Structure 1
Amino acid sequence: MLAGVCVAGCVPEEEPPPVRSGAEVLVANDFESLSDQRVGLIANHTARLDTAHVIDRLAAAPSVELSAIFAPEHGFRGTAGAGEAVEDGRDPRTGVPIYSLYGETRRPTPEMMEGLDALVFDVQDVGARFYTYITTMGLAMQSAAEADARFVVLDRPNPLGGTYTSGFVLEPEHTSFVGRYPIPIAHGLTIGELARYIRAEGVLPGVGSVDLSVVPVENWARDQQWPDTGLDWRPPSPNLPTWETALMYPGMCFFEGVRVSEGRGTERPFLQIGTSWSPEDARRVVDTLRAQDLSGIAVDTVAFTPRSMPEAAPSPRFEGQEVYGFEVEVTDRRAVDPLAVGIHALHAMYQRAQARGDTTFVSRPEHLTRLAGTDRLLTLLRDRASPDSIIAAWRDEVEAFRDDRAPALLY
């Protein structure tokens, strides 16, 4: 029998059932879990069901009163740049007020919570600890607990899958808005599972008492990465335009702490890294990375010029200047280890800076420490530790986290 040809008697393989987000499940159940409640919705542009936004479905539901909308970093429409303050406003379709949670106010105030029976959270996460949507969620859980309101998470798949866990576990003294919880950089949890973990571990004051419920994703398995879900990719923030950028983001984001362009202001953020060195320096870095035989990627030299991109990178580093470095192509998404790639790449660039006598390479040491969640990364780099020994430094704590997270898992 020819491979792939079905002849008499053979049964064609059935298509797997489609993955359905928690929002789709909520709508399919006629909003039963929110019936007769006044609701505040924390959402952005990713909270969609096919062509409709969850806001429009909630506003049209006769049994639910949508009373407030809360916007995380990048805004309700997802167009504000990284770190850019988000303003209050009003939704033109529904007339419902929109409150910013990424400005002077970082969580719903008692005044905003007044009269609400439930806070509903529907935001697509990327599975990295320093992605700020999960910090917003935890702070909102605090507000819900203080207001004696329910907190309902409409779950969505973790784009990296549910089995990949890697990176230093955050140390309490390095807590910030880009790192709020004692979890690895890649935590392998859906946003609903993370909410369950936050409540169970009591990592924020008051969250242990919040009335939490999660509307689960249907037909998603832990070993599924985003391309396996059949869902369309909607960039959760302006600089993650493709799933491949999100895949590499947990490791390549370290470069925000050093004097390079991490690709902002180009079409390939977090897939290409460059700085004001020479093409020969770039070649030496690439030779070093190729010698490591890193799984699942191909590495090559690159030259690029960051440009102002109003909704993604209004003022990128090295704007208008040609920079030289390396680019990454994902060749096997299941084999690649994004954190390992990031550490090897950062190490290669750091060693090249040392060879050049470049004392300004680590331009933002405090930010690099915040991203790593520990000062050990910078210490190990300065002590000339190998990339493999840096990676080995987090293995035991990641294994302990995997045990701790087990009760929170839904899938």
Structure 2
Amino acid sequence: MKPVFTYSFIFLAYLLMAGCSNTKSPEHSVPKVIVGAERSEIYLPMLAGKKVGLVVNQSSMVDSVHLINFLVSNGVDVKGIYAPEHGYKGNVERGKDVDGTTDPETGIPVYSLYGKNRKPTPEILEGIDVMIFDMQDVGVRFFTYINTMTRVMEASAENGIKVMVLDRPNPIGYYVDGPMLKPGFESGVGLYPIPVVHGLTVGEYAMMVNGERWLKDSIQCDLEVIKVENYTHETKYQLPVFPSPNLAEMKSIYLYPSICLFEGADVNEGRGTYKPFQQFGAPYYTPQDFSYVPKSIPVLALHPKFEGETCYGYDLSGMSLKELQDIKQLEIKYVIDFYNKCDDKENFFTPFFDKLAGSDQLRKQIMEGLSEEQIRASWQEELEEFKLMRKNYLLYDETSMVRQTQ
């Protein structure tokens, strides 16, 4: 249900009465964002008598209760927990398998969707009527949770299982930018032709994948999206629970789309520090105004790039949230800067860079010496086409609540 704002005159009267006071009346504050998982009055009746599978992690909360416990306490027959990267509690080192375990509180079996079977097999889906996806995403193509979701959609469609997405806000859903993923560059960090920053919630993205028939053999799943209430794409949503160990601050999330590109280059992206994606550097970088030494940190980073070496580069952790929110584009200036400073340019990029970028175009443009403006201009036509398609699947307004109340 879309929020309705009918109190324009009341709001103006409130401003007049408030005068110089800084005290805000709760009845005129911005309505609380209510995520899909908290709208149980809608989805619990749909789950009555159903055998349910859950694709969840530590962000899958219903107020202060995890979705697993919430559903079990409400009599839902949960048959399996399907864990993404970092596990269903978010405490697993990147790439580690959690298959074959059980949830200690409920005894429900846990199946890994980040090990050898990234797509659920018919065997681990046997007997399931509804697969629920409820995880906080960050709105970036190479953040792997949306790939987990679409593989679940595909497997569910093939096995006659309904998919229910309990939607959550996109913390950077207020802009769309970056190069598109091109055919032939599909990978574990990008499956479908979308830009790096796609501007969709997981529910909207699921609808796009289904509607555009991107699943294998153009199959479509039986999809239900439980919408977020009181959210628009300009809402600056602050995550109550962070989605992964290295994205444990809003500052890291805002910088993640741009700085994560260094995972495919000869630059440390802040892994091995307590400010991942907020600081980044390499031993060869000049000037040497800022430095740090990456080290192994359990769960966060084991044996990070340039472990034990002094790295020089940037520290963006001092930027305010407002400053970071005002950055509404993929910043490629940092990659260009480090490439220009690197002596061993032939080995600066790794094959993983093309997977993150979605094609080999960005790498080649940087190597050819194109300017940031020239590179950004090369994205625009395809971006505009994507934005037109994106409008077909939007569940939430793109105008801000502030403007709606005026």
Taking structure 1 as the reference length, what is the TM-score of the superposition?
A: 0.87
Residue in structure 2 matched with residue 113 of structure 1 by the alignment: 125
Aligned partners of 2:176 and 2:199 also within 8 Å: yes
Task: Judge which range, 84-93 or 388-397, deviates more.
Answer: 84-93
In structure 1, list runs of 5 or more residues that go unmatched. Answer: 284-300
What does 1:247-326 align with in structure 2 at a 5 Å threshold? 247-277=254-284, 281-282=286-287, 301-326=289-314
- Residues 1:193 and 2:204 are matched in the alignment: yes
Change (3 A) 1:201 1:12: closer
Change (3 A) 1:269 1:40: same
Report the alpha carbon displacement of residue 76 of structure 1 after superposing the two structures with TM. Answer: 1.0
**Structure-2 separation of matches of 1:174 and 1:11:** 52
Report the alpha carbon displacement of residue 207 of structure 1 after superposing the two structures with TM. Answer: 6.0
Structure 1 counterpart of 2:20, one-letter code: V
Aligned partners of 2:178 and 2:329 also within 8 Å: no
Residue in structure 2 matching 1:222, options 219, 225, 233:
233
Residue in structure 1 matching 2:50, options 11, 32, 37:
37
Residue in structure 2 matched with residue 76 of structure 1 by the alignment: 88
Structure 2 counterpart of 1:282, one-letter code: P
Report the alpha carbon displacement of residue 51 of structure 1 after superposing the two structures with TM. Answer: 1.9
Q: Secondary structure at the match of 1:394?
A: helix
Residue in structure 2 matched with residue 380 of structure 1 by the alignment: 365
**Structure-2 separation of matches of 1:213 and 1:35:** 15
Deviations along 1:179-212, one digit per CA (max 9) or x if unpaired, are 0110010000000000000000111215642100
**Structure-2 separation of matches of 1:190 and 1:92:** 31
In structure 2, list runs of 5 or more residues that go unmatched. Answer: 1-15, 397-406
Residue in structure 2 matching 1:128, options 132, 140, 152:
140
Residue in structure 2 matching 1:15, options 14, 29, 53:
29
Q: Secondary structure at the match of 1:42?
A: strand
**Structure-2 separation of matches of 1:34 and 1:48:** 18
Aligned partners of 2:98 and 2:110 also within 8 Å: no
Task: Judge which range, 181-190 or 207-216, deviates more.
Answer: 207-216
Deviations along 1:360-398, one digit per CA (max 9) or x if unpaired, are 55241x100000001111110111000111111111111
Deviations along 1:203-239, one digit per CA (max 9) or x if unpaired, are 1215642100000011111101223xxx52x221111
What does 1:91-240 align with in structure 2 at a 5 Å threshold? 91-161=103-173, 163-206=174-217, 208-227=219-238, 231-232=239-240, 234-240=241-247
Aligned partners of 1:6 and 1:12 also within 8 Å: no
Identity %: 39
Taking structure 2 as the reference length, what is the TM-score of the superposition?
A: 0.88
Report the alpha carbon displacement of residue 94 of structure 1 after superposing the two structures with TM. Answer: 1.0
Deviations along 1:228-255, one digit per CA (max 9) or x if unpaired, are xxx52x2211111101101110111111
Change (3 A) 1:13 1:95: closer
- Residues 1:46 and 2:59 are matched in the alignment: yes
**Structure-2 separation of matches of 1:263 and 1:282:** 18
Residue in structure 1 matching 2:380, options 375, 390, 395:
395
**Structure-2 separation of matches of 1:29 and 1:305:** 50
Report the alpha carbon displacement of residue 337 of structure 1 after superposing the two structures with TM. Answer: 3.2
Report the alpha carbon displacement of residue 351 of structure 1 after superposing the two structures with TM. Answer: 1.1
Deviations along 1:315-367, one digit per CA (max 9) or x if unpaired, are 1111122111112243423321351x2x01110111112xxx32355241x10
